[in-house]
Amino acid sequence: WQEVLAEDALILRGYALAEQHVLLRAVDDVIREAPFRHLVTPGGFTMSVAMTNCGPLGWVSDRRGYRYDAIDPTTGKPWPAMPPVFLNLAKEAAALAGFDDFVPDACLINRYEVGTRLSLHQDRDEADTNQPIVSVSLGIPAIFQFGGNQRTDPKIRVPLTHGDVVVWGGRSRLAYHAVLPLKANSHPLTGSVRINLTFRKAR
Ligand code: MD3
Ligand code: FE
Residue 108, ligand 1, Cβ within 6 A: yes
Q: Tell me if 197 sits within 8 A of 109, measured CB to CB.
A: yes
pLDDT digits (tens, 9 = 90+) for 64-120: 999 999 999 999 999 999 999 999 999 999 999 999 999 999 999 999 999 999 999
Residue 172, ligand 1, Cβ within 6 A: yes
The total domain count for the chain is 1
| Predicted pLDDT at 33 | 98
Q: Which atom from ligand 1 is nearest to the alpha carbon of 173?
A: 22
| Predicted pLDDT at 5 | 87
Residue 133, ligand 1, Cβ within 6 A: yes
The binding site for 2-oxoglutarate consists of 110-112, 194-200
Q: How confident is the model at residue 138 (pLDDT cuts 50, 70, 90)?
A: very high
pLDDT at 199 over 90: yes
Q: Tell me if 57 sits within 8 A of 105, measured CB to CB.
A: yes
pLDDT digits (tens, 9 = 90+) for 142-193: 999 999 999 999 999 999 999 999 999 999 999 999 999 999 999 999 999 9
Distance 199 CA to ligand 1 centre (A): 10
Rounded to 5 degrees, φ, ψ at 91 are: -65, -45
Task: List the CATH number of the domain containing 49.
Answer: 2.60.120.590
Spatial neighbors of 159 by CB under 8 A, at least 6 apart, are 141, 142, 143, 144
Task: Report the relative pairing of strands 50-54 and 106-112 from DSSP bridges.
Answer: antiparallel
Q: Which atom from ligand 1 is nearest to the alpha carbon of 177?
A: 1
Spatial neighbors of 142 by CB under 8 A, at least 6 apart, are 112, 159, 160, 179, 180, 182, 194, 196
Residue nearest to atom 15 of ligand 1 (CA): 135
> Structural domain of residue 99, as residue ranges?
2-200
pLDDT at 6 over 90: no
pLDDT at 202 over 90: yes
For ion ligand 2, residues whose CB falls within 5 Å? 123
Average pLDDT over residues 16-39: 98
**Predicted TM-score (pTM) of this structure:** 0.98
| Predicted pLDDT at 42 | 97
pLDDT digits (tens, 9 = 90+) for 32-67: 999 999 999 999 999 999 999 999 999 999 999 999
Instruction: Note the ligand closest to the C-alpha atom of 173.
Output: 1
